């Protein structure tokens, strides 16, 4: 049955604050609003624990399809138990609306950090490595994210006071593509098809831009774009026109780091190799998997040993 989003969701998003969903989740504050959904901080009343609740926006033209995508996201992410992937706790339906309940992660996205400019090279590599650990878990469970971008990498502080460290959390498995045994585990109607482009143009892999069949290597490409962006403050290809961006992903030469940020002592050969292989146009020229990319990333990190610690 198609979900009706216009009922309780017709009120302004701020008016949802204070409402109790499914008798156990009280919405306490609006955290974020995207193109099709909103995320609230909430309290799980029985346990007094803090969670995040994601729901669809009102008045969406394709509410039934988006609701199925939300169900798919919940089922897919619930199979993944990894410290670098946001944990899905519950999926509840109430008054023809769906609510996806997740662990509450308070922090800043990589995209937000980049508003202030590039990151230090070592920090960028550590963030990328953690994201690869999360992707390795997803890929080994038959899931391809397909929308890795700087906004979907959340950085949170974990650990005891005085000994905190930064942890990456992969967000938003709403565009997940399932392969192998994961199809049977998650089930549901097929949401993807050849010839349809999914993803974000500035981060999308060439085969994704062409609407071809994809595998886990599209995520490695997209993460390579994020790493390039963290190092330089810009994505490899830029255009205000989405169609132009897609064409550039398919055919434009990969810019070398040294050409974008000349004179930087951290533009070592191993780091250039890491970028070049992750952004290769042909999937078989990229890394075989996240584990292989981690090995090359570690070599790139070691190549910085001769540089001052703050770089």
> Contact at 8 Å (CB) between 232 and 118?
yes
3-state secondary structure (DSSP) of residue 217: helix
> Contact at 8 Å (CB) between 8 and 97?
yes
Residue 220 CB-density burial (10 A; 0-12 exposed, 13-18 middle, 19+ buried): buried
Strand 107-109 to 37-44 pairing? unpaired
The reply to whether 147 belongs to the active site is yes
Report the alpha-carbon distance of residue 253 to residue 262 in Å, rounded: 18
Structure tokens at 46: 């029985």
Report the alpha-carbon distance of residue 39 to residue 54 in Å, rounded: 4
Residue among 209, 211, 141 nearest 178 (CA):
141
Q: What is the 3-state secondary structure (H, E, C) of 44-101?
A: ECCCCEEEEEEEECCCCCCHHHHHHHHHHHHHHHHCCCCCCECCEEEEEEECCEEEEE
3-state secondary structure (DSSP) of residue 114: helix
Q: 124 to each of 71, 164, 207, 219, how far by Cα in Å?
A: 32, 18, 26, 17
Structure tokens at 270: 């191993």
Which is catalytic among the residues 28, 81, 115, 147? Answer: 147
* List of residues 6+ apart from 34 with CB closer than 8 A: none
Active site amino acids? 147
């Amino acid at each position: 049955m198609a979900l009706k989003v216009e009922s309780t969701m017709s009120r302004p998003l701020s008016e949802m604050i204070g409402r109790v969903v499914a008798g156990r989740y009280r919405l306490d504050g609006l955290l974020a609003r995207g193109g099709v959904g909103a995320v609230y901080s909430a309290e799980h009343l029985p346990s007094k624990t803090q969670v995040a609740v994601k729901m669809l926006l009102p008045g969406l033209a394709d509410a039934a399809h988006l609701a199925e995508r939300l169900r798919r996201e919940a089922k897919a992410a619930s199979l993944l138990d990894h410290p670098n992937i946001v944990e899905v706790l519950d999926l509840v339906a109430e008054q023809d609306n769906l609510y996806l309940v997740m662990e509450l992660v308070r922090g800043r996205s990589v995209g937000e950090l980049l508003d202030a400019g590039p990151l230090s090279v070592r920090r960028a590599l550590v963030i990328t490595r953690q994201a690869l650990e999360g992707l390795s878990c997803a890929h080994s469970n038959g899931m391809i994210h397909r929308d890795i971008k700087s906004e979907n990498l959340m950085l949170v502080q974990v650990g005891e006071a005085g000994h905190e460290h930064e942890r990456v959390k992969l967000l938003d498995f709403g565009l997940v593509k399932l392969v192998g045994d994961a199809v049977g585990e998650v089930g549901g109607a097929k949401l993807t098809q050849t010839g349809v482009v999914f993803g974000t143009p500035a981060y999308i892999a060439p085969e994704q831009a062409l609407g071809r069949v994809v595998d886990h290597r599209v995520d490695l490409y997209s993460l390579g774009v994020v790493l390039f962006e963290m190092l330089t403050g810009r994505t490899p290809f830029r255009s205000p026109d989405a169609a132009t961006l897609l064409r550039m992903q398919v055919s434009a030469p990969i810019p070398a780091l040294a050409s974008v940020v000349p004179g930087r002592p951290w533009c070592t050969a191993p780091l250039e190799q890491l970028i070049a292989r992750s952004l290769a146009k042909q999937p078989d020229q990229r890394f075989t998997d996240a584990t292989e990319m981690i090995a090359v990333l570690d070599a790139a990190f070691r190549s910085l040993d001769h540089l001052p610690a703050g770089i």
